Amino acid sequence: MDIEPTKIPQATAKRLPLYYRFINNLHSKGKQRVSSKELSEAVKVDSATIRRDFSYFGALGKKGYGYNVNYLLNFFRETLDQDETTNVALIGVGNLGTAFLHYNFKKNNNTKIVMAFDSDESKVGTNIAGIPVYHIHDVVEKAKEQNVSVAIMTVPSFAAQGIADQLMEAGIIGILNFTPARISVPNHVRVHHIDLAVELQSLVYFLKHYPLDEEEQ
Ligand code: ATP
């Protein structure tokens, strides 16, 4: 398979891990093929989008057969599973941060939280789920030491920009920002923003104003 990952549109690329997880499940259950309808129901993406996405992967579904699970699995493995693990740092060992340390994305074999940082002296020096918690003052030194390139920020909003500036110094190029704060970073740094409160509010709003049985399918 010689499909250039860069040719895949960004919106499609964002759905890749979702597809991968589902196809992996099918494969472990011994399924050989899957229809776009089945996929659509499982991952909640409409089947026209799935067909378009999969055409970028070089996977052409056959009528009455669907997609070949092995082909898709190989494609996703090659595209998503880099040889090297991406070392991730978690900043802010509060309630949410602690949950991430325990979870540690065990199902993704190519990303791993290897260290955590906090400014609270009572947390510094502890170890949560095998991950050491260091003082935020040491973030540049520690992150460089272990080649950390991605950070998850679970700190209060007011601290976000100051921490982002230190992360730049540490050579971080990707930030998953769980704070409501919008942070400024140089062009070479990618920030993905997840505001759980906004997502929840939006869900409640949609439930109220766009009940599912009225929505066009
Ligand atoms: P907790 O219940 O432990 O206070 P929380 O999730 O309710 O957690 P937050 O106020 O959101 O509390 O803080 C999350 C974590 O971020 C805390 O552990 C806090 O010590 C840490 N934190 C706050 N400011 C900074 C900072 N500048 N650098 C690093 N960590 C910080």
Residue nearest to atom 11 of ligand 1 (CA): 156
Both 140 and 46 in one domain: the answer is: no
Has 39 been labeled as part of a binding site? Answer: no
Question: How far, in Å, is the centroid of ligand 1 from the Cα of 156?
Answer: 6
For the chain, how many structural domains are there in total?
2
Residue 153: pLDDT over 80: yes
pLDDT in tens, 4-25: 545 788 888 888 888 988 998 9
Mutate to test the pocket of ligand 1, among 115, 117, 118 (most ligand atoms within 8 A of CB): 118
Q: Contact 12/56 with Cβ under 8 angstroms?
A: yes
Residue nearest to atom 9 of ligand 1 (CA): 156
pLDDT in tens, 156-204: 999 999 999 999 999 999 999 999 999 999 999 999 999 999 999 999 9
Which CATH number do you get for residue 148?
Answer: 3.40.50.720
Residue 207 within a domain? no
Interface predicted TM-score of the whole assembly (ipTM), two decimals: 0.93
pLDDT in tens, 163-176: 999 999 999 999 99
Please give the residue range of the domain that contains residue 20.
Answer: 5-79
Both 112 and 75 in one domain: the answer is: no
Element (DSSP H or E) covering residue 24: helix 10-28
Both 102 and 181 in one domain: the answer is: yes
Q: Is the pTM of this model over 0.80?
A: no
| Distance between CA atoms of residues 144 and 211, nearest Å | 49
